[in-house]
Amino acid sequence: MSQVMHRRQGGRYGGNRLEKITAPYNFVPLAREVFKPDWHETVCQDIPLPDGYCGALQMTIKSRTPILPGQKNKANGRIEHFTLPDGRLAIPGSTLRGMIRNVVEIASFGKMNLVQDSRYGVRDLTPGARSIYGDKLSKVHENKNPNSMGPFEPRTKAGWLSYNVKKRQWEISPCEFARVDKRDLAKLPTSGQWEKLVAGYIDKSGNSLPKKQYPSTIDKYEWWLARSTLKIQFDAGSLKDHGPGAHGTIRGKQKYLRYKKASNLGHGKQAGHLVFTGQPGPNKHLEFIFFGGSSPAIPVSEAIYKGFRQIYQDDPKSMAGKTYAYLKEKNFDGKGVPVFYLAPSSEIESLGLALMYRLPYENSVGELIKKFSSDHQANSFDLAELIFGTVDEENGENSLKGRISFSHARSEINQGESATQACKTILNGPKPTYYPNYIHQNETDGGLKGNFYKTCMDADARIRGWKRYPVRPSGDVRVQRTEANQSEDVMVNLNPVTDSVSYKGKMRFHNLKKEELGALIWALTWGGDPALRHAVGMGKPFGFGQVAIHIDWEHSDIIPNLPGGDPPTEHDCMNAFTTLMENWFSGVLQGDWSYSEQIVQLKAMADPKKAPGLPGELKHMSLNGGGPKNEFVLAKGAQGNKKLVLMAYVEAGREQSRTDVTQTESDSMPTKTPAENWLKQAVEELCAQHNTKEKTILLGKLLATKWDEIDDTSLKADVLALIKSCWKQYGGWEGPHSGKSKIIAYTIYNNRDRLS
């Protein structure tokens, strides 16, 4: 097995431009229709099904790349391979259960309801996000000077957040705020080396840093409170424009800001409290003083506070969570937590801990899924829920006990007997708020069609689907190098086992129908394809944990509920499952389940041969120090770069012309029907005759003309169903279509007289 190597982060560049988004993950699209088995109301633990089976499947799991079903070593803090009490390496049964359940959910067109219904927030200062973020938090006043931009004036207001015990509600007491320059703060005798701190040269204890590291909000408070108090006397200037020079430039134009400036620090007539926010880079030079305020407190609705809580409280280990907890503890002489908020009317719409705070999206993940298809929120059980069980967290009425269990998969190797390789890296990637990747976009060849991205602000936004980590060839396992200014707080020490390891475990089942058992066997073995792999444990973004699962049928038992019944074979079970899905799919969605976009993408991401063809590599893009070369920002159109979108995995393959209908028997979807054989032969002949790609043939008039010559009406209809499935993979059947050849082909296929 290959050793762990390091690779640099980064997308694919052309000159100084980013051409493609790269990521170690991709998505299986969410299905609008959810499959609900006919027997979803009759499943029970206690009543044997006449056509049910009990037993156990013996599994052998072999690792193909370094593997790390992780557990933290308390002594040294490293993430090491999970072990049993006797020291043997093992994969936890819960890990295997979750891995296989996800495959069954996708393959059986199940509900996406096991997601955290989070209302994420957005803080995006790129030009393309002006409409969803910048315009909501600030306004730009008219400026007749062609060489300047602005002035920008915040729409956000300041106040103190506190909980009213008598009214049992959160509320904000409005106040005013002024801006204070870091250079003026540095002139105060108690400030110490304030300018060096905010410039990133020293830490909060005054120690020199080997490389620049800008202070957090908490760092600033702790520095200041170690030397002084947050109470301060000052004079607040009138609201006016400030610039040029002090606030940088935007696209070569001087930027103006409109605010009240604090002066005469320590001696003024106005009393206030210093309020600090984070230091994203060297250009930020203004902090805040909150003062005054006599208006009545404004209540914060439960829904608005929930959005605030999800960003700032639900993850106490995040920087936002730590900052909120710190400010809440300080309490600012009983005033509460200093916040900024939007209240264009009499009600508060949102709030945060910075002037340009993370704005909660209009729609949560769960709301977007429900808007896309209410099937995903239905009370009826899907196939995965029938097999694995489900818990109704609201009232328990729709809970169902699972009918399978996984043992730990045990190896014969002890931890000390296996070769390992320590590597220090980061596991963090783009958050689900990175909409070029996580929200379905209208794209062509990895570029955004149109000027604006879809985000969770849009009612018709659609999440990309089921997140998966594609497998890759063993030689392409790479751990990402850390960035030059990477914080130690987000780094982890991984210690994967690099030897090839064989594990043995059992999947026990009770009262399963043949179709249900077939779904599990299909998921375990990828439909009997030995070339495909699962991914398990930590480090999947780097290629860790790729495994192949083999069922040892000689040591497995399938026992019919009916005495004297014959146990089904492996192929009987899988055929029962695939026939069930094909019949449902053709009746509800039309076409073949085997060629649906969901199955095509799912199996492609399990195929290591697909990985070398990507336009880039299976790796995260680079922050590049957070400067102008930040690839995550460039991908959204900054610095004149075109707006990019993460391409669908199969579309991103190097051999884009190679379609599933022309794959050989060793590929994930072998040909098996007269219609598939006809289409395979026709496409190959036309490609050879015209020296062109298969995708061009599939979407053009040459194939349509050849199809039109089929005399057998039944064969003609079956071939058309396959062609429709292929069209759907490349953007849809219904259109609108562009290109003369494609329009002619669509006209030929849709002539109703052809199949009459």
Q: How far is CA 301 from CA 346, 347, 350, in A?
A: 12, 8, 10
206 lies in some domain: yes
Whether residue 598 is predicted with pLDDT greater than 50 in this model: the reply is: yes
Residue 568 confidence (pLDDT) = 93
Residue 641 confidence (pLDDT) = 83
The Cα–Cα gap between 498 and 571 comes to 34
657 lies in some domain: no
The Cα–Cα gap between 192 and 228 comes to 10
Yes or no: say if 541 and 22 are a contact pair by the CB < 8 Å rule: no
Q: Are residues 209 and 70 in the same domain?
A: no
Contacts of 212 (CB under 8 A, 6+ apart): 199, 200, 201, 485
Residue 491 confidence (pLDDT) = 76
Q: Are residues 404 and 461 in the same domain?
A: yes
494 lies in some domain: no
| DSSP codes joined into one string, 337-377 | EEEEEE-SSSS--EEESSTT--EEPSS-HHHHHHHH-GGGG
The Cα–Cα gap between 48 and 510 comes to 9
Q: Which residue has the higher pLDDT, 666 or 435?
A: 435
743 lies in some domain: yes
Mean pLDDT of 216-220: 95
Sign of CA dihedral 513, 515, 516, 517: positive
| Confidence at 46, pLDDT banded by 50, 70, 90 | confident
Whether residue 6 is predicted with pLDDT greater than 60 in this model: the reply is: no
Sign of CA dihedral 659, 660, 665, 670: negative
Domain count within the chain: 3
The Cα–Cα gap between 602 and 597 comes to 8
Convert the pLDDT of each residue in 303-350 to its tens digit.
Answer: 899 889 888 877 777 888 999 999 999 989 999 999 999 998 889 999
Yes or no: say if 56 and 398 are a contact pair by the CB < 8 Å rule: no
The Cα–Cα gap between 565 and 550 comes to 26
Tokens, residue 701: 């008039």
Residue 691 confidence (pLDDT) = 65
- The candidate with the shortest Cα–Cα distance to 32, out of 376, 456, 458, 385, is 376
The Cα–Cα gap between 386 and 111 comes to 12
Q: Are residues 451 and 462 in the same domain?
A: yes
CA triple 608-614-615, angle to 5 deg: 170
Residue 183 confidence (pLDDT) = 93
- The candidate with the shortest Cα–Cα distance to 104, out of 307, 402, 312, 362, is 402
Yes or no: say if 506 and 401 are a contact pair by the CB < 8 Å rule: no
The Cα–Cα gap between 640 and 235 comes to 42
Q: Are residues 52 and 173 in the same domain?
A: no
Listed ranges 41-50, 243-252, 665-674; the one with the highest mean pLDDT: 41-50
What DSSP designation does 593 have? G
Sign of CA dihedral 724, 729, 734, 739: negative
Q: Are residues 112 and 133 in the same domain?
A: no
497 lies in some domain: no
Yes or no: say if 3 and 498 are a contact pair by the CB < 8 Å rule: yes
Q: Are residues 107 and 141 in the same domain?
A: no
| Confidence at 487, pLDDT banded by 50, 70, 90 | low
54 lies in some domain: yes
656 lies in some domain: no
Domain boundary among 305, 327, 360: 360
The Cα–Cα gap between 364 and 179 comes to 34
Q: Are residues 210 and 295 in the same domain?
A: yes
Q: What are the contacts of 313-317 at 24+ separation with CB within 8 A?
A: 314/118
> HSE of 309 in the Cβ direction (CA atoms, 13 Å)?
9
Residue 102 confidence (pLDDT) = 96
Q: Are residues 506 and 544 in the same domain?
A: yes
What DSSP designation does 359 have? E
Residue 756 confidence (pLDDT) = 43
Mean pLDDT of 563-583: 93
CA triple 482-484-488, angle to 5 deg: 60
| DSSP codes joined into one string, 656-688 | TT--GGG--TTSSS---SHHHHHHHHHHHHHHH
Tokens, residue 312: 């700032």
Give the number of residues written for the chain. Answer: 756
Mean pLDDT of 381-391: 92
Q: Are residues 173 and 53 in the same domain?
A: no
Q: Are residues 347 and 371 in the same domain?
A: no
> HSE of 188 in the Cβ direction (CA atoms, 13 Å)?
22
Yes or no: say if 56 and 405 are a contact pair by the CB < 8 Å rule: no
Whether residue 670 is predicted with pLDDT greater than 50 in this model: the reply is: no
**pTM given for the model:** 0.77
Helix (H), strand (E) at residue 103: helix 93-107
298-300 and 169-181 as β-strands: parallel, antiparallel, unpaired? antiparallel
Residue 200: CB atoms within 10 Å: 17
Domain boundary among 311, 330, 360: 360
The Cα–Cα gap between 657 and 693 comes to 5
Q: Are residues 380 and 513 in the same domain?
A: yes
Yes or no: say if 259 and 179 are a contact pair by the CB < 8 Å rule: yes
Residue 617 confidence (pLDDT) = 78
Convert the pLDDT of each residue in 251-267 to its tens digit.
Answer: 556 788 999 999 999 99
| DSSP codes joined into one string, 683-724 | HHHHHHHHT--HHHHHTSHHHHHHHHT---HHHHHHHHHHHH
Which amino acid type is present at position 552?
D
652 lies in some domain: no
Listed ranges 235-244, 543-552, 649-658, 741-750; the one with the highest mean pLDDT: 543-552
Q: Are residues 464 and 606 in the same domain?
A: yes
Mean pLDDT of 494-520: 95
What DSSP designation does 204 have? T
Domain that holds residue 353: 121-360
As a whole-number percent, the residues of the chain with pLDDT over 70 amount to 88
Q: Which residue has the higher pLDDT, 134 or 690?
A: 134
Whether residue 754 is predicted with pLDDT greater than 60 in this model: the reply is: no
Residue 664 confidence (pLDDT) = 36
The Cα–Cα gap between 328 and 163 comes to 11
Rg for the chain (alpha carbons), in Å? Answer: 30
Q: Residue ranges of the alpha helices (H) in 398-478? A: 435-438
Residues paired with 208 in a beta bridge: 202
Q: Which residue has the higher pLDDT, 374 or 179?
A: 179
The Cα–Cα gap between 164 and 154 comes to 28
Tokens, residue 617: 């590599």
* Exposure b/e, 467-489, CB count within 10 A at least 16 = b: ebbbbbbeebbbbbbbeeebeee
Domain boundary among 334, 360, 386: 360
Residue 544 confidence (pLDDT) = 94
Tokens, residue 30: 């969410």
